Amino acid sequence: RRWDVWLAQYASRPTYSGDFTMWQRGTENVDGIAGKVDIDICYRDYVEESPDLIVFALTSPMMQGKPVSALQAMLNAAGYTASDGQRLNVDGKLGKRSFSAFVEFLNAHKRYIE
């Protein structure tokens, strides 16, 4: 199969009978984010396979809004800060401060980026 399948089915268990890599099972509230965010389960370790691809996806011009807010909130909750040592603004914008915290997170998990 050339592409991974992302199953978007709000349910307690998926009923789709085919193979899928990620399942969007619903939405929930997350501290620091206004409104609900997607709750997904990923069955493939993309970071182990290609950290460069992850960085590209997170730094593309279209990467903004709720996905970035969720990343910023997660980085804050995990104690990662911008290069100035300050917590991130949860604003949905992947700027230099958020990116530096993301790189710190990747490096801490042995996914080195300079």
**pTM of the predicted model, to two decimals?**
0.47
Distance of CA 72 to the CA centre of its chain: 9
Q: Which of 19-33, 51-65, 78-92, 99-113 has the lowest mean pLDDT?
A: 51-65
* Identity at 65, one-letter amino acid code: G
Residue 104 and residue 90: Cα distance in Å, rounded?
17
Domains of the chain, residue spans: 1-44, 45-114
> What 8-state DSSP symbol labels residue 85?
S
Q: pLDDT tens digit string along 103-112?
A: 888 888 765 5
Characterize 1-20 residue by residue with b for buried, 16 or more Cβ atoms within 10 angstroms of its Cβ, and e for exposed. Answer: eeeeeebeeeeeeeeeeeeb
Helices (H), 16-111: 46-49, 51-59, 66-77, 96-108
Question: Is residue 111 within 8 Å of residue 97, measured between CB atoms?
Answer: no
Q: pLDDT tens digit string along 80-92?
A: 999 899 999 999 9
63's CB contacts (< 8 A; 6+ apart) are 57, 94
Q: Name the token pair of 78.
A: 């995990």
The answer to whether residue 55 scores a pLDDT higher than 60 is no
